[in-house]
Amino acid sequence: VFAGKVVVREEARERVLASASELGYVVNGLARSMMGVGRQTMALVVAEMVGPSFAELAAAAEAVATREGLLLMLLTSHGDPAREASLITTLREQRAAGVILVGSARNAAEADERIVGYRDAMEQVGARLVLCGRPAPFEREDVDAVDYDHEGGVHEATRHLLDLGHTKIAFLGYDPGFTMQASRFSGYTRALSERGAEIDDELVVVAANTTEAAQKALHDLLERRPDVTAVVCLTDVIAVGAYRALRARGLRMPEDVSIVGFDDAPFVADLTPPLTTIRAPFAELGRRAAALALGLVTASEHDILGTELIVRGSTARVRSTRR
Amino acid sequence: VFAGKVVVREEARERVLASASELGYVVNGLARSMMGVGRQTMALVVAEMVGPSFAELAAAAEAVATREGLLLMLLTSHGDPAREASLITTLREQRAAGVILVGSARNAAEADERIVGYRDAMEQVGARLVLCGRPAPFEREDVDAVDYDHEGGVHEATRHLLDLGHTKIAFLGYDPGFTMQASRFSGYTRALSERGAEIDDELVVVAANTTEAAQKALHDLLERRPDVTAVVCLTDVIAVGAYRALRARGLRMPEDVSIVGFDDAPFVADLTPPLTTIRAPFAELGRRAAALALGLVTASEHDILGTELIVRGSTARVRSTRR
DNA sequence: TTGTATGCGTTATCAA
DNA sequence: TTGATAACGCATACAA
């Protein structure tokens, strides 16, 4: 009766259902899926459960999982390769239908090899691995990935600043060791190069993705280089750190310094001034990644979703003189 | 070898491990936990994956799940009782070790009965149910719950405003149909009563928990009652809506109107002015709920965690005249 | 220390 | 339509 595959007399079915509800019986999903009837779970692995992007993406992925009758497992790797590997093992043991690895990854051949290993391991238990928000390793066509246009987004933002007359444009949050950081940075360099501008290494500053780290990093930069009139921030979190640093130094936005962020986090439109930022389609990203992970669609090519520059009050035309 | 219970010769164990890694074999966790060896998952059910509180709480719960070797399933109910019931059934089928129901619940006897039913249903398959961020139904001692002091938090915030000389204090986000809304509101009424102030019904305004709804609600209130000098907001999201409404009307904060929120969401300290708000220990909440759900601790009584008023720039002494 | 049998709650198959 | 039985991959107990 519960399997639903076999034809049963109506009266018998009702008798079974009645006893079941009387006894509080429910099918043992573990035994059921052990018979290969179908997986019951899929997984989403993120470095940390932070940021708006994470919630939006997870919610979208869960929605498609639910539609397919699956539960969504949410795991964190804390950016630790060992923990990541152990999660993959556990998910294999659990016979998850698919796993989505989301977020920036280490930008190294060794990391790429790990990913391919994970993919093969999952495949061995009949599950899919899909990358989300990061490029496929070695640009391999045989690893499913859905990403958004980090490079294009920052390129558009940087060009926006160039169009406003800025020339001393800093990049805050540089870290070539990670894919996301590297590709966003390359959007910055491309925009500058297209205008024939040199990359001023001093204006490219490393900062961890926290408000505090960003604040300190920009503070230090402005000590050395008070001529900066605009800063491209890796993320909105970093942009908020930039706001704090500028405010602490008595500089006005956007009159003295223009700021652009990335993510369009909640509330950044309510800052003073409202943050100009880049919006990525996180919900769509989660949907596609989940659909890929469950084999509902097949990746025609590597999907790269577009981003959108949202111009608000934190960017303005450069002023010829400062102070 | 994999069960680890039996003593095996070292050479044999190595031979097994070698073959396993060669074949890519991993234990079938489904079959294993079917033997009652131990559950492998626990679940966290929220209405929506929004808000900072959610991420912080989920991360903390996942940390203790991980420590116990379990995976965390994250499910959304969208506030729909039918979906909630269906999730409970699925989790019973999956033999989850425990489930945490988090967030505001409907404030009705019928809802309480549902919860007790869920608890019994989970118990039947040897799993625990724990409520988080909402009170136990009917104040039943036999339903595990860990909550924080909604009432006390808002009471402290309201008294803070009273101490600053405010008398026309509005409450934004009223909705007696839900536990969280009701208990936060009662903190407001208690603070007023303690000072011998009447509750002015016109100053108590309904608003859904979105920035847009709050903005419109406060706008409408100020049309009718321009004498309001302070507003207690159900959440930070609503407080941001209040900021917008005030700004749109050309009112200054805190000179013309003081605002307090609830949650201490990211970035609210970076608004202009920085938001005075109430911080609840979401991480601790998640930790305790998870520990309870896994039976690591037993609830001595119903845990009510304390909150903390964080005074920032959005509240100030009332001015005798406006404009 | 190792091999063998039994049972767990399903699905699937085949006979009645 | 229904009942009996094998098989799934494991844990457990017991014998070798």
Instruction: Give the per-residue pLDDT at B319.
Output: 85
Instruction: Give the per-residue pLDDT at A323.
Output: 44
**Are the beta carbons of A243 and B270 separated by less than 8 Å?**
yes
Tally of CB atoms within 10 A around A162: 18
d(CA B184, CA B147): 13
Q: Show the tokens assigned to B68.
A: 């116990």
d(CA B181, CA B163): 24
d(CA A161, CA A311): 11
For residue A190, with 0-12 CB atoms within 10 Å meaning exposed, 13-18 middle and 19 or more buried, which class applies?
middle
Angle value at C-alpha B173, between B170 and B175, nearest 5 degrees: 115
Q: Show the tokens assigned to A172.
A: 């805050």
d(CA B269, CA A312): 20
Q: DSSP strand E in chain B: where?
A: 41-46, 71-76, 98-102, 128-132, 144-148, 169-174, 204-206, 230-233, 258-260, 277-279, 303-305, 308-310
User: pLDDT-derived band of residue B323, with 50, 70 and 90 as boundaries?
Assistant: very low
The nearest CA of chain B is from the CA of A135 a distance in Å of: 25
What's phi and psi for A267, nearest 5 deg?
A: 80, -15
**Are the beta carbons of B267 and A272 separated by less than 8 Å?**
no
Pick out the nucleotide with least CA–C1' distance to A29: C10
* Whether B43 contacts B100, CB under 8 Å: yes
**Are the beta carbons of B55 and A59 separated by less than 8 Å?**
no
Q: Which of B72, B124, B243 sits opposite A24 (nearest CB)?
A: B124
* Whether B316 contacts B255, CB under 8 Å: yes
What are the residues whose beta carbons fall under 8 Å from the beta carbon of A110, sequence distance 6 or more?
none
Q: Which residues of A touch B124 (CB under 8 A)?
A: 24
Helices (H) and strands (E) in chain A, counts: 10, 12
Can you state the angle between helices B282-293 and B51-67, rounded to 10 degrees? 40
Using DSSP, state whether B285 is helix, strand or coil.
Answer: helix
Tally of CB atoms within 10 A around B12: 10
Pick out the nucleotide with least CA–C1' distance to B34: C8
DSSP string, A57-111: HHHHHHHHHHHTT-EEEEEE-TT-HHHHHHHHHHHHHTT-SEEEEES--B-SHHH
Instruction: Give the per-residue pLDDT at B320.
Output: 65
The tens digit of pLDDT for each residue in B220-279 reads: 999 999 999 999 999 999 999 999 999 999 999 999 999 999 999 999 999 999 999 999
Strands A71-76 and A41-46 come out as: parallel
B-facing residues of A in 5-64 (CB < 8 A) are 24, 26-34, 40-41, 43, 48-50, 54-56, 58-59, 62
* Whether A53 contacts A278, CB under 8 Å: no
CA at B65, C1' at C9: how many angstroms apart?
Answer: 26
pLDDT exceeds 80 at position B301: no
B-facing residues of A in 264-283 (CB < 8 A) are 265-268, 270-272
Residue A323 CA to its chain's centroid (Å) = 39
Instruction: Give the per-residue pLDDT at A35.
Output: 85
* Whether B46 contacts B76, CB under 8 Å: yes
Residue in chain B nearest A271 by alpha carbon: B271
Between residues B300 and B230, the one the model is more confident about: B230
Instruction: Give the per-residue pLDDT at A299.
Output: 79
> A107, A115, A154, A131: which is closest to A57 by C-alpha?
A131
Residue B142 CA to its chain's centroid (Å) = 21
**CA-CA-CA-CA torsion sign (A106, A111, A112, A117):** negative
DSSP string, B197-219: PPP-GGGEEE--SSHHHHHHHHH
Residue in chain A nearest B120 by alpha carbon: A24
**Which residue carries 């009705």 as its tokens?**
B108
Peptide bond into A254 cis (omega under 30): yes
Residue B303's DSSP bridge partners are B146
Instruction: Give the per-residue pLDDT at A301.
Output: 65
**Are the beta carbons of A48 and B71 separated by less than 8 Å?**
no
Chain A contact present for B116, CB below 8 A: no
AA letter at A103: G
The tens digit of pLDDT for each residue in B25-72 reads: 898 999 888 888 889 999 999 999 987 789 999 999 999 999 999 999
Q: How many CA atoms lie within 13 A of A230 on its CB side?
A: 26
Using DSSP, state whether A131 is helix, strand or coil.
Answer: strand
Q: Show the tokens assigned to B283.
A: 């991480």
d(CA A323, CA A321): 7
d(CA B110, CA B194): 33
Q: Which of A41, A270, A271 sits opposite B244 (nearest CB)?
A: A270
Instruction: Give the per-residue pLDDT at B34.
Output: 86
Tally of CB atoms within 10 A around A290: 31
Residue of A28, A41, A267 to mutate, testing the B interface (most B Cβ within 10 Å of its Cβ): A267
Alpha-carbon distance values, B256 to B134, B224, B226, B235 (Å): 35, 16, 10, 21
* Whether B58 contacts B282, CB under 8 Å: no
d(CA B174, CA B208): 8
* Whether A146 contacts A131, CB under 8 Å: yes
Peptide bond into A226 cis (omega under 30): no
Q: What is the mean pLDDT of each run of 10 residues along chain A (323 residues)?
A: 83 88 90 87 94 89 96 96 96 96 94 95 94 88 92 98 98 97 98 96 97 98 97 98 98 97 95 98 96 90 89 93 49
Nucleotides of C under 7 A from a protein CB: 1-2, 7-13
Q: What's A276's DSSP letter? A: B
d(CA B320, CA B323): 10
d(CA B96, CA B40): 7
Q: Which of A30, A41, A49 sits opposite B34 (nearest CB)?
A: A30
Q: Which residues of A touch B50 (CB under 8 A)?
A: 55, 59
**Are the beta carbons of B41 and A243 separated by less than 8 Å?**
no
Instruction: Give the per-residue pLDDT at A23.
Output: 87
- The mean pLDDT value for B194-215 works out to 97
Q: Which of A34, A71, A270 sits opposite B94 (nearest CB)?
A: A71
Instruction: Give the per-residue pLDDT at A3.
Output: 82
- The mean pLDDT value for B282-297 works out to 96
> A256, A257, A246: which is closest to A218 by C-alpha?
A246
The tens digit of pLDDT for each residue in A55-66 reads: 999 999 999 999
> B241, B232, B237: which is closest to B214 by C-alpha?
B241
What's phi and psi for A135, nearest 5 deg?
A: -75, 160
Strand C closer than 7 Å to the CB of B34? Answer: yes
Residue B292 CA to its chain's centroid (Å) = 16
Which uninterrupted H or E stretch holds A305? strand A303-305
% pLDDT > 90, chain A: 82
The tens digit of pLDDT for each residue in B133-160 reads: 999 998 777 899 999 999 999 999 999 9
**Which residue carries 């909640």 as its tokens?**
A266
